[in-house]
Amino acid sequence: MIRLSRALAGVALLSLLAAGCAAEQAEEPPVPDAWGEPAVVPDRNPDPRIVEVDLEAREAEKAYLEGTTTTVWAYNGTVPGPLIEANVGDTLIVHFKNSLPEETTIHWHGVRVPNEMDGVMAVQEPIAPGETFTYQFTLRDAGFYWFHPHVMEPEQIQKGLFGLIRVRGPNEPEADVEKIAVLGDVFLNKDGTFNEELDDDTIMMGREGNVVLVNGEVMPALDVQPGGLTRLRIVNVANGRFFNLALPGHTFRVIGTDGGLIPQPYDTERLLVSPGERYDVLLIADGEPGTELTLMNEAYERGHHTGLAEPMPLARVRIGEGPGLSGRTLPETGPAIERLPGGPAEATITFDEGYVDGKLTFTIDGKAFPDVPPIDVQEGSVHVYDLKNDAEMDHPFHLHGFFFQVLARDDVPVADEELANKDTVILPQRSTVRIVTRFDEPGMWMYHCHILEHTERGMMGEIHVEP
């Protein structure tokens, strides 16, 4: 039996046949394996506690559809972008150059950074074509994070601007193999160019591509050793697509989420991953050598009755030949994390959608950004909020700069084993999620729906943390 954790990576193709991998680029990228593992960006600083890297955003070519090439926007010439490897407590220095034809920034999704390093226009002037900027901050938390622009996000992220950060801590779980799974999609015309047409139906649900990818590949193969313990770090970088992952007949073991490892690992038959979320999972391959399994994206109704009509194949899991390993076990406990104090909500933040002056608009407390009134709090204070979704579809809520913990759903307290540090959470349609957060870094911090078209159409607000 194979036990997979909360998310294997997925890829499938809806109406267009796609084929894999990167073509000519300014630098020769490493040849990916069948799983398309992202390359590690070189660290050019000899100090073991400083990770210093160069990142360049530039145009590159990638073959998604057979017989065509697509001009993508890429960090260091690859899609997915490179992986930054570091340890908790390290200083990260990123020398960034913008070689694109338009301005951009880098937002460090999930990483707790000083406000001036957050990469949003409220605190940073966009980096113009040909210009450079150096980001520098201390990596405070072990976990799996990603980075992407916060300028013209729907277009720039779909074109390929996303990369990864893996921060290791002192108590990493044991595994024979560790892999990364980047879930995403692209919306292409038949000639391989990006389809950038948006109608209200597309904006309502967020752009879902017609080529679904994991690690930039269509139907990649994850090779696992019989009896071996495989760890997967999973992130959803899609504009609007949710992944509802399942390996039929098996369960998933989840050991971590957005903010790192969780105290109580758990099993589930379905792993729902919304845009922006990450999961850390384990898998033991106990099937017969030579067996090939199919990871599926199961139907999920995320709103307006537009759920998948049929399950979608995403990836292959291939159990290797030869003698298997023995004695591997899945962890029953994880490291302790601080539980923030709960209590009744002091305010309700309401998310909704509709037409304002004939334009489809996504609102917070009845207003669209930048007209959403900011929330003022004091540095070091702890606050409890009800996030109320009045819309007829799910919205993934993302908070910059801080982790939060979920206290209740529709006034029902969550179980003790659900304690986790999150920066992104699904707000199901017509429901309320109660969260608690400690605001320990001063500045102007964004919160928004991580369906990127919704952010652009108004579903974004600010929290002002006063020193």
Q: What is the pLDDT of residues 362-414, one digit of tens each?
A: 999 999 999 999 999 999 999 999 999 999 999 999 999 999 999 999 999 99
How far is Cα 166 from Cα 164, in angstroms, rounded to an integer?
A: 7
Question: E strands, 289-336, where?
Answer: 292-297, 312-319
- Structural contact between residues 7 and 281, judged by C-beta atoms closer than 8 angstroms: yes
- pLDDT for 330-361, tens place per residue? 999 999 999 999 999 999 999 999 999 999 99
Nearest to 246 by CA among 264, 273, 220: 273
Helix, strand or coil for residue 452? helix
β partners of residue 54: 95
pLDDT of residue 416: 85
Which structure tokens are listed for 217? Answer: 């590949």
Residue 30 has pLDDT above 90, yes or no: no
Indicate the Cα dihedral angle 31, 36, 41, 42, nearest 10°: -40
Handedness of CA 197, 74, 87, 36 (dihedral sign): positive
pLDDT tens-digit map of 299-326: 999 998 776 667 899 999 999 987 888 8
pLDDT at 98 over 70: yes
Residue 78 is encoded by which pair of tokens? 């690859």
Residues 81-98 have a mean pLDDT of 98
Per-residue pLDDT at 288: 84
Average pLDDT, integer, range 411-421: 93
Q: Which two tokens stand for residue 425?
A: 């959470």
SS3 percent helix, strand, coil of the chain, rounded to 5, is 5, 45, 50
Q: What is the pLDDT of residue 13?
A: 35
Q: What is the mean pLDDT of residues 73-89?
A: 97
Residues in the chain: 467
Distance CA 261, CA 170 (A): 12
Quote the pLDDT of residue 3.
38
Can you give the pLDDT at residue 308? 63
- Give the pLDDT confidence of 235-284 residue by residue, as tens digits: 999 999 999 998 877 788 999 999 999 999 999 989 999 999 999 999 88
Specify whether the CB–CB gap between 77 and 58 falls below 8 A. yes
Domains with residue ranges and CATH for the chain: 17-168 (2.60.40.420), 177-319 (2.60.40.420), 347-466 (2.60.40.420)
Strand pairing report for 278-285 and 252-257: antiparallel
Question: Cβ(401)–Cβ(365) under 8 Å?
Answer: no
As given in the structure block, the two tokens for residue 76 are: 């260091």
- Percent of the chain at pLDDT > 90 equals 81
Other beta carbons within 10 Å of 104: 25
CA distance 113 to 462: 16
Are 461 and 351 contacting, i.e. CB atoms less than 8 angstroms apart?
no
Q: So what's the pLDDT on residue 25?
A: 37
- Specify the DSSP element, H or E, that contains 145: strand 143-148
